[in-house]
Chain A
Amino acid sequence: QVQLVQSGSELKKPGASVKVSCKSSGYSFTSYTLNWVRQAPGQGLEWMGWINTNTGNPTYAQGFTGRFVFSLDTSVSTAYLQISSLKADDTAVYYCARGGPFDYWGQGTLVTVSS
Protein backbone atom coordinates (compact mmCIF):
# COMPACT_ATOMS: atom_id res chain seq x y z
CA GLN A 1 0.00 0.00 0.00
CA VAL A 2 1.07 3.57 -0.61
CA GLN A 3 2.79 5.18 2.37
CA LEU A 4 4.61 8.42 2.99
CA VAL A 5 6.51 8.27 6.27
CA GLN A 6 8.09 11.42 7.63
CA SER A 7 10.88 11.91 10.14
CA GLY A 8 10.17 12.74 13.74
CA SER A 9 9.58 15.97 15.59
CA GLU A 10 12.37 18.51 15.86
CA LEU A 11 13.17 21.19 18.43
CA LYS A 12 15.55 23.82 17.11
CA LYS A 13 16.94 27.14 18.24
CA PRO A 14 16.49 30.29 16.15
CA GLY A 15 19.10 30.52 13.43
CA ALA A 16 19.61 26.77 13.20
CA SER A 17 18.69 24.51 10.28
CA VAL A 18 16.44 21.49 10.03
CA LYS A 19 16.01 18.74 7.45
CA VAL A 20 12.73 16.82 7.27
CA SER A 21 12.51 13.57 5.32
CA CYS A 22 9.57 11.94 3.58
CA LYS A 23 10.07 8.29 2.56
CA SER A 24 7.68 6.90 -0.03
CA SER A 25 6.75 3.27 -0.57
CA GLY A 26 4.14 1.22 -2.38
CA TYR A 27 4.32 3.04 -5.70
CA SER A 28 6.77 4.21 -8.34
CA PHE A 29 8.43 7.20 -6.66
CA THR A 30 9.21 9.03 -9.88
CA SER A 31 5.65 8.81 -11.20
CA TYR A 32 4.24 11.57 -8.98
CA THR A 33 5.34 15.03 -7.89
CA LEU A 34 5.98 15.45 -4.22
CA ASN A 35 4.55 18.49 -2.45
CA TRP A 36 5.31 20.19 0.85
CA VAL A 37 2.58 21.83 2.96
CA ARG A 38 2.95 23.91 6.11
CA GLN A 39 0.40 24.20 8.89
CA ALA A 40 1.20 26.67 11.65
CA PRO A 41 -0.43 26.03 15.05
CA GLY A 42 -4.19 26.53 14.81
CA GLN A 43 -3.91 27.73 11.22
CA GLY A 44 -4.82 26.47 7.77
CA LEU A 45 -2.89 24.64 5.10
CA GLU A 46 -0.25 26.49 3.11
CA TRP A 47 1.27 24.98 -0.02
CA MET A 48 5.04 25.48 0.03
CA GLY A 49 5.85 24.04 -3.35
CA TRP A 50 6.70 20.79 -5.07
CA ILE A 51 9.58 18.85 -6.49
CA ASN A 52 9.51 16.98 -9.79
CA THR A 53 10.65 13.51 -8.78
CA ASN A 54 11.81 12.76 -12.33
CA THR A 55 14.06 15.75 -12.83
CA GLY A 56 14.63 16.93 -9.27
CA ASN A 57 13.45 20.38 -10.32
CA PRO A 58 11.80 22.24 -7.43
CA THR A 59 9.10 24.89 -7.59
CA TYR A 60 8.65 27.15 -4.58
CA ALA A 61 5.50 29.06 -3.67
CA GLN A 62 5.65 32.74 -2.85
CA GLY A 63 7.00 33.16 0.63
CA PHE A 64 9.05 29.99 0.50
CA THR A 65 12.07 31.07 -1.47
CA GLY A 66 15.57 31.52 -0.14
CA ARG A 67 15.58 29.60 3.16
CA PHE A 68 13.66 26.56 1.92
CA VAL A 69 15.20 23.81 -0.17
CA PHE A 70 13.53 20.70 -1.59
CA SER A 71 15.70 17.75 -2.58
CA LEU A 72 15.49 14.07 -3.40
CA ASP A 73 17.32 10.80 -3.03
CA THR A 74 15.58 8.63 -5.59
CA SER A 75 17.71 5.62 -4.61
CA VAL A 76 15.74 5.42 -1.36
CA SER A 77 12.50 7.04 -2.63
CA THR A 78 12.89 9.90 -0.19
CA ALA A 79 12.23 13.62 -0.45
CA TYR A 80 13.69 16.22 1.86
CA LEU A 81 12.73 19.66 3.06
CA GLN A 82 15.55 21.76 4.49
CA ILE A 83 14.87 25.05 6.24
CA SER A 84 17.78 27.29 7.20
CA SER A 85 18.03 30.33 9.48
CA LEU A 86 15.01 29.14 11.44
CA LYS A 87 12.71 31.71 13.01
CA ALA A 88 10.04 31.33 15.67
CA ASP A 89 7.29 31.66 13.07
CA ASP A 90 8.64 28.61 11.22
CA THR A 91 7.11 26.61 14.08
CA ALA A 92 4.59 24.39 12.32
CA VAL A 93 3.68 20.91 11.20
CA TYR A 94 5.20 20.18 7.81
CA TYR A 95 3.52 17.63 5.57
CA CYS A 96 4.62 15.93 2.39
CA ALA A 97 1.87 14.92 -0.02
CA ARG A 98 1.81 13.07 -3.31
CA GLY A 99 0.59 14.28 -6.65
CA GLY A 100 -2.03 16.87 -7.39
CA PRO A 101 -4.67 16.46 -6.05
CA PHE A 102 -2.90 15.23 -2.96
CA ASP A 103 -4.12 11.66 -2.60
CA TYR A 104 -1.60 10.48 0.00
CA TRP A 105 -0.06 12.47 2.83
CA GLY A 106 2.72 11.92 5.29
CA GLN A 107 1.83 11.92 8.96
CA GLY A 108 3.40 15.34 9.46
CA THR A 109 6.55 16.53 11.21
CA LEU A 110 6.33 19.11 13.97
CA VAL A 111 9.19 21.59 13.87
CA THR A 112 9.39 23.80 16.94
CA VAL A 113 11.70 26.80 16.91
CA SER A 114 12.36 28.16 20.35
CA SER A 115 15.28 29.52 22.34
Chain B
Amino acid sequence: DIVMTQSPDSLAVSLGERATINCKSSQSVLYSSDNNNYLAWYQQKPGQPPKLLIYWASTRESGVPDRFSGSGSGTDFTLTISSLQAEDVAVYYCQQYYSTRTFGQGTKVEIK
Protein backbone atom coordinates (compact mmCIF):
# COMPACT_ATOMS: atom_id res chain seq x y z
CA ASP B 1 0.00 0.00 0.00
CA ILE B 2 1.08 3.56 -0.67
CA VAL B 3 1.77 5.47 2.53
CA MET B 4 1.08 9.23 2.57
CA THR B 5 3.00 11.37 5.06
CA GLN B 6 2.11 15.00 5.67
CA SER B 7 4.19 17.70 7.32
CA PRO B 8 3.82 19.49 9.58
CA ASP B 9 1.10 17.94 11.74
CA SER B 10 -0.05 21.44 12.63
CA LEU B 11 0.82 25.02 11.84
CA ALA B 12 -0.24 28.46 12.99
CA VAL B 13 -0.20 31.27 10.45
CA SER B 14 -1.12 34.94 10.75
CA LEU B 15 -4.12 36.18 8.80
CA GLY B 16 -3.05 37.18 5.30
CA GLU B 17 0.15 35.15 5.45
CA ARG B 18 1.07 32.05 3.45
CA ALA B 19 0.45 28.53 4.70
CA THR B 20 2.30 25.60 3.17
CA ILE B 21 1.54 21.91 3.74
CA ASN B 22 3.69 19.12 2.38
CA CYS B 23 2.70 15.60 1.43
CA LYS B 24 5.04 12.76 0.52
CA SER B 25 4.02 9.42 -0.94
CA SER B 26 5.98 6.20 -0.40
CA GLN B 27 5.96 5.59 -4.14
CA SER B 28 5.27 7.69 -7.20
CA VAL B 29 1.63 8.52 -7.93
CA LEU B 30 2.47 9.82 -11.41
CA TYR B 31 0.81 7.58 -13.99
CA SER B 32 3.07 7.53 -17.03
CA SER B 33 0.37 6.68 -19.55
CA ASP B 34 -1.56 9.90 -18.95
CA ASN B 35 1.10 12.01 -17.18
CA ASN B 36 -1.27 12.76 -14.31
CA ASN B 37 -0.44 12.76 -10.63
CA TYR B 38 -3.21 10.90 -8.80
CA LEU B 39 -3.13 13.19 -5.79
CA ALA B 40 -5.94 15.16 -4.17
CA TRP B 41 -6.27 17.62 -1.29
CA TYR B 42 -9.25 17.95 1.04
CA GLN B 43 -10.32 20.47 3.67
CA GLN B 44 -12.30 19.38 6.71
CA LYS B 45 -13.89 21.78 9.16
CA PRO B 46 -15.24 20.59 12.53
CA GLY B 47 -18.47 18.69 12.30
CA GLN B 48 -18.42 18.62 8.49
CA PRO B 49 -17.46 16.04 5.90
CA PRO B 50 -14.25 16.70 3.98
CA LYS B 51 -14.41 18.93 0.92
CA LEU B 52 -12.41 18.32 -2.23
CA LEU B 53 -10.10 21.26 -2.95
CA ILE B 54 -7.55 20.03 -5.50
CA TYR B 55 -7.24 16.98 -7.75
CA TRP B 56 -4.63 15.84 -10.28
CA ALA B 57 -2.24 17.52 -7.79
CA SER B 58 -2.90 21.03 -9.09
CA THR B 59 -6.44 21.34 -10.51
CA ARG B 60 -8.77 23.36 -8.31
CA GLU B 61 -12.26 22.00 -7.83
CA SER B 62 -15.01 24.29 -9.06
CA GLY B 63 -15.78 27.05 -6.57
CA VAL B 64 -12.54 26.73 -4.60
CA PRO B 65 -10.91 30.13 -4.06
CA ASP B 66 -7.75 30.76 -6.06
CA ARG B 67 -5.72 31.36 -2.89
CA PHE B 68 -5.57 27.55 -2.72
CA SER B 69 -3.02 25.97 -5.03
CA GLY B 70 -1.42 22.58 -5.38
CA SER B 71 1.96 21.66 -6.83
CA GLY B 72 4.41 18.81 -7.07
CA SER B 73 4.90 15.59 -8.97
CA GLY B 74 5.91 12.01 -8.41
CA THR B 75 6.24 11.62 -4.66
CA ASP B 76 6.38 15.19 -3.30
CA PHE B 77 3.45 17.56 -3.21
CA THR B 78 2.51 20.88 -1.65
CA LEU B 79 -0.76 22.64 -0.82
CA THR B 80 -0.36 26.39 -0.49
CA ILE B 81 -2.84 28.87 0.90
CA SER B 82 -1.45 32.15 -0.39
CA SER B 83 -3.21 34.49 2.04
CA LEU B 84 -4.79 32.77 5.00
CA GLN B 85 -8.36 33.76 5.84
CA ALA B 86 -10.23 33.02 9.04
CA GLU B 87 -12.50 30.59 7.22
CA ASP B 88 -9.49 28.49 6.19
CA VAL B 89 -9.01 27.17 9.72
CA ALA B 90 -9.43 23.44 9.20
CA VAL B 91 -7.63 20.14 8.90
CA TYR B 92 -6.18 19.43 5.46
CA TYR B 93 -5.61 15.95 4.05
CA CYS B 94 -3.77 14.71 1.01
CA GLN B 95 -4.94 11.51 -0.69
CA GLN B 96 -3.52 9.31 -3.39
CA TYR B 97 -5.90 7.63 -5.81
CA TYR B 98 -3.22 5.96 -7.94
CA SER B 99 -3.55 2.60 -6.21
CA THR B 100 -6.67 2.01 -4.18
CA ARG B 101 -6.89 5.08 -1.89
CA THR B 102 -4.83 6.36 1.05
CA PHE B 103 -5.02 9.54 3.09
CA GLY B 104 -2.26 11.41 4.83
CA GLN B 105 -2.61 11.85 8.59
CA GLY B 106 -3.85 15.43 8.28
CA THR B 107 -2.45 18.90 9.00
CA LYS B 108 -4.29 21.25 11.33
CA VAL B 109 -4.15 24.91 10.28
CA GLU B 110 -4.82 27.57 12.90
CA ILE B 111 -4.56 31.34 13.18
CA LYS B 112 -1.48 32.72 14.94
Cα distance, A102 to B104, chains bound together (Å): 15
Which parts of A47-89 form the interface with B (CB within 8 Å)? 47, 49-50, 59, 61-62
Contact between A102 and B106, CB atoms less than 8 A apart: no
Chain A interface category by residue count:
20 to 34
In the complex, what residues of B have CB within 8 A of residue A97's CB?
A: 49-50
Contact between A35 and B101, CB atoms less than 8 A apart: yes
Q: Interface residues, chain A, CB within 8 Å of chain B?
A: 35, 44-47, 49-50, 59, 61-62, 95, 97, 100-103, 105-108
In the complex, what residues of B have CB within 8 A of residue A35's CB?
A: 101
Q: From residue A36, how far is it (CB to closest CB) to chain B in Å? A: 10
Count residues on chain B whose CB falls below 8 Å from chain A CBs. Answer: 21
In the complex, what residues of B have CB within 8 A of residue A61's CB?
A: 100-101
By Cβ-Cβ distance, the 8 closest A-B pairs, closest first, are A101-B40, A105-B49, A47-B101, A100-B97, A101-B55, A44-B106, A45-B103, A44-B105
Cα distance, A100 to B31, chains bound together (Å): 15
In the complex, what residues of B have CB within 8 A of residue A46's CB?
A: 103
Which parts of B31-75 form the interface with A (CB within 8 Å)? 40, 42, 44, 49-52, 55, 61
Q: Pick the residue among B51, B61, B103, B105 that contacts A47 (CB under 8 A).
A: B103
